Amino acid sequence: MGDGAGLLADLSAWLSAWSRLDAQHRELRHAAFSDPLTGAWNRRYFDRFMDAAIDQARRARRTLTVMVFDIDDFKKYNDTYGHAAGDEILIETVRLLNSVIRPSDRVCRVGGDEFAVIFYEPQGPRQQNSAPPESVYQIATRFQKQICTHRFPKLGAEAAGTLTISGGLATFPWDGHDVESLLDRADQLSMESKRQGKNALTLGPGAERVCHNPH
């Protein structure tokens, strides 16, 4: 009996140690793919997830949309109000985004104040008699309105509610066939939003199709 009890104690200790090691591994893995400031996924995660999602969308004959955007005049706010205010803008941007996206979508910080949102619904077409799906454009414009009206305390009362974003949306397979071409197209469309005077979202031909005809 003594040997059996000792064996069980050793097994219990091993399982406990393995559980701790597994938890530490998951934490390190998450840290390797996430942005430490905002909690958004990072560029490394974006590239890997997009590659896998596009492959799945190709095989299942489904669509995937990426929105690339940045915060208009972010450098001016950062220089005027300080890095703490700039950090608050970035953190709140991700929080607001996470409040409007779907569970299957991903928010990624791919540069200083540049973000990419992957809109992907792996379940595919909705079932008969289910609620109509919300279009990507509805989600994107709701976020755009939220950030325009959100108050950022560290900017001071005189600057509250003045932030805007400029972005572009590109959709697989019409606007690009891989990560690089989709991201490049979304970047071009984002620059077009800047040229329009900022505070705008510009859609590629494929994104037009998906955003305005979500069924």
Catalytic residues: 113
H/E segment holding residue 202: strand 200-203
**Cβ proximity of 106 and 41 under 8 Å:** yes
Place of tokens 């104690």: 9
